[in-house]
Amino acid sequence: MIHRRHALGLFAAAAILPSRSFANVSYQRSEFREDLQKRFFDLGTEGTFVGYKIDDYLIIASDKTRSGEGKLPASTFKIPNALIALETGVVQDPDKDVFKWDGVTRSIEAWNKDHTLRSAIAVSAVPVFQEIARRIGEERMKKYVDIIDYGNRDIGGGIDQFWVTGNLRIDPVQQIDFLDRLRRGVLPVGKRSQQLVCDILPVTKVGDAVIRAKTGLTDKEHGSLGWLVGWSEKGSDITVFAMNMDCKTQAQIDARMSVTQQCLTDIVAL
């Protein structure tokens, strides 16, 4: 397990001891790979990539600074939002419970229809997850964001806005810590909720590997930051990752998956 207070930002040469220790989790090693920065440079932007190779207990980061900087999670928060919805009963079945379209026509056509939790996360339907957050409510949302120790745990800024324009911040190392606990089913919530969220994560197949991941994108006012977080599975080899980069152009927005795949290939995870 990874803990954010063991600074990848400081990039200690010593092994990283998880605070949430389990018997089958060893000390972790960390490695700085400056060559990964070329992937962002080639796109004309700046960014960071952090990968955690589970079997090797190895954390690989592209830089010493940005990898530990907290940012708005944007739509990557749909992962914990979905988890909390299932845990609180706001959603009972991710394939059967339907959120009716509110009739407001939005620029993304895929949002202008009814959705289940699975279909909503597939197209990153912001209005659906805003409605989910409102149904969860501030008290329960705060409780569960605390329980799962997500980012800075600050949901200030509006119950349906805090992850897109509000106070919530999370860095790549925290993203990986959360995702690894979710993947392993060791978050302090129900196993069923965790398994269902893992199951509804969008899947991309790359050769004989599978990537389960969620995108995120903040608006221009909040930095035009693009995220991709999740994990890759190649046989029995699993790598949990978090990538964010400045996205000033549509081409950069579209490149979130490709640049992540390049970084995963560079660290021999694909």
Active-site residue set: 75
Whole-angstrom distance, CA of residue 270 vs CA of residue 262: 9
Strand pairing class (203-206; 209-217): antiparallel
Buried b (16+ CB within 10 A) or exposed e, 2-27: bbbebebbebeeeebebeeeeeebee
Closest CA to 267 of 39, 44, 73: 39
**CA max distance for the chain:** 55
Whole-angstrom distance, CA of residue 60 vs CA of residue 70: 18
Using DSSP, state whether 150 is helix, strand or coil.
Answer: coil
